[in-house]
Amino acid sequence: MQRSLFTAVTGLRNHQVKMDVLGNNIANVNTTAFKSGRVRFQDILSQNIRGASAPQPGRGGTNPAQVGLGMSIGAIDTIHTQGSMQSTGRATDLAIQGNGFFVMSDGPNRLYTRDGSFSLGADGDLVNSATGLKPLGWTADAAGVINTAAPLGALNIPFGQRVTTMATANLTLGGNLNATAATGAPGAYLTEVLVYDSQGGLHTLEITFTRTAANAWGWLAERIVPGTPPVRTSVGSGTLTFDTSGNLTASAGGPITFTPTGVAALSITPDFSGLTQVVGSSSALVRFQDGFPVGELDTFTIGKTGIISGVFTNGLVRDLGQLALAAFPNSEGLLKAAANMYQVSSNSGLPRVGVAGQEGRGIIETGTLEMSNVDLATEFTEMITTSRAFQANSRVITSSDELLQEVVNLKR
């Protein structure tokens, strides 16, 4: 009789814990990236009433007789299944499609989260405005190169920051040179292009093409300095050779070089591979030059691998940094640390920190947040069965009490 009382108590106590877990799941049904919990029960020590006996000649064996002493909580698991994606349209809202975690820092400590609801702080750093923790990653250098072997740090998006201009280093030409142009006629065809120096200054170049023989042309690049009259300075020259079908087979000469006052020398490599020589009007022109004037950061985008690309007012697109993700050998072993954060535990394994899209870290979805993975239908069903189990255990206590009452009444 005494055993049944304490056995039922274990049922009451542990089903109450399960109800606590279910209540927490339901309470967090709308919490960003929340992972639901699951309680697993196990029986505890059973008291042997009679041991087992082995079979004998002419007689079979007997099974052991045991009375169980109740149940206990075997585990409370965190279920890390993928939550549904909710589109928000905010450039700083990020979700992970896969098993990774954002690496967060409060300064001395590192935490991990699936909650990518970030904002820009007053200092331009990406930050979780609810906690003040900052996602970590790698900052690009002045040339936009990201070194993922460098230490992790906060990521800054410097709106209004001026970016150093890019001096022109390459020209790409295309179009046609008339195959019937007069041989040796000076200035048979010319085209003009604006290039930039290291301080963003503009300079005018004029490239003149002259037919020197059948299927052969010479080119001359001159720098034009405004004035009355304009000052022309030769800054590069070379030759072009075409085959009988009018395709370019060889180009020689260059690069185009000159040194403006007070800035670094320019060395520009012309690419003539887009030129043809066929019968028809000449149309050669510079299709592309890679220089840029000074510009300011206007907007940014975050790609699936976490690369933050800045778009500047001068048209330049340059990488600003890259978000880091972490993956764990056993993510269910992580400790919940409140505010949607997790901590490393002795059974989670060490984090494998790296870039998204590698080693099972998943990819990053921009303008999206991960929803809770709580399934209300499952939680309500579990709540019903837990409630009934709690009631049944309470009835065991009531029935045991009635039996004890009968024993006490034997004395009357």
Q: What are 349-391's pLDDT values in tens digits?
A: 999 999 999 998 999 999 999 999 999 999 999 999 999 999 9
Domain co-membership, 77 together with 110: no
Residue 188 lies in a domain: yes
Does the pLDDT of residue 1 top 60, yes or no? no
Check the CA dihedral 364-370-373-375 and report its sign.
negative
Residues 233 and 321 in one domain: no
Mark whether 1 and 30 lie in a shared domain. yes
Position 381 scores a pLDDT of 96
What one-character DSSP code corresponds to residue 96?
E
pTM of the prediction?
Answer: 0.80
What digits encode the pLDDT tens for the residues 23-37?
999 999 999 999 999
Strands 307-312, 295-302: parallel, antiparallel or unpaired by DSSP? antiparallel
Q: Which domain holds residue 253?
A: 170-289
In terms of Cα–Cα distance, which of 80, 150, 139, 134 is closest to 306? Answer: 139
Domain membership flag for residue 53: no
Question: Which sign, positive or negative, has the C-alpha torsion 276, 277, 281, 285?
Answer: positive
For position 41, what pLDDT does the model report?
94
- Smallest Cα–Cα separation from 94: which of 37, 51, 137, 143? 137
Same domain? For 155 and 178 the reply is no
Residues 310 and 411 in one domain: no
pLDDT at 151: 95
Beta bridge partners of 87: 368
Whether residues 234 and 213 share a domain: the answer is yes
Both 283 and 303 in a single domain? no
Indicate if 301 and 281 belong to the same structural domain: no
E strands in 262-392 = 266-278, 285-289, 295-302, 307-312, 317-323, 325-327, 335-336, 341-343, 352-354, 363-366, 368-370
Residues 305 and 403 in one domain: no
**214 — pLDDT class (breaks 50, 70, 90):** very high
Q: Is 355 part of a structural domain of the chain? A: yes
From the list 209, 212, 217, the residue with the least C-alpha distance to 183 is 212
Give the CA dihedral 27, 28, 30, 35, nearest 10 degrees.
Answer: -150
- Distance, in Å, from the CA atom of 4 to the CA atom of 11, rounded to the nearest integer, reads 11
The chain-wide mean pLDDT, for the chain, equals: 92
| Domain identity same for 338 and 351 | yes
Specify which residues 48 forms β-bridges with.
Answer: 66
Number of domains composing the chain: 3
Tokens (6 digits) for 117 = 């609801």
- Evaluate if residue 164 carries a pLDDT over 80: no
Rounding to the nearest 10 degrees, give the CA dihedral for residues 223, 225, 231, 234.
-10
**All residues at 6 or more sequence positions from 390 whose CB lies less than 8 Å from its CB, including other chains:** 11, 12, 15, 16, 19
Q: Would residue 48 count as lying in a domain?
A: no
Alpha-carbon gap, residue 389 to 211, rounded angstroms = 97
* 152 within 8 A of 137, measured Cβ to Cβ: yes
User: Judging by beta carbons within 10 Å of its beta carbon (0-12, 13-18, 19+), is residue 30 exposed, middle or buried?
Assistant: exposed
SS3 154: strand
Check whether 308 has a pLDDT greater than 60: yes
Residue after which a domain boundary falls, among 240, 257, 289: 289
Q: Are residues 210 and 303 in the same domain?
A: no
**One-letter amino acid of 128:** N
Angle between helices 2-27 and 376-409 (to 10 degrees): 160
Residue whose C-alpha is closest to residue 293's, from 312, 310, 273: 312
Strands 307-312 and 317-323, bridge-based pairing: antiparallel
Helix (H, G, I), strand (E, B) or coil at 391: helix
- Cα separation, 273 vs 174, in Å, equals 7
Does 141 lie in the same domain as 97?
Answer: yes
pLDDT at residue 412 is higher than 70: no
Predicted confidence (pLDDT) at residue 160 exceeds the cutoff of 90: no
Instruction: Look up residue 366 and give its two tokens.
Output: 């921009």
Going by the DSSP 8-state scheme, the letter that residue 304 receives in this structure is: T
CA–centroid distance for 366 within its chain: 8
**Percent of the chain beyond pLDDT 90?**
74
**Token pair recorded at residue 356:** 């998204």
> Would you give the DSSP letter of residue 147?
-
Distance between CA 138 and CA 62 in Å, rounded? 69
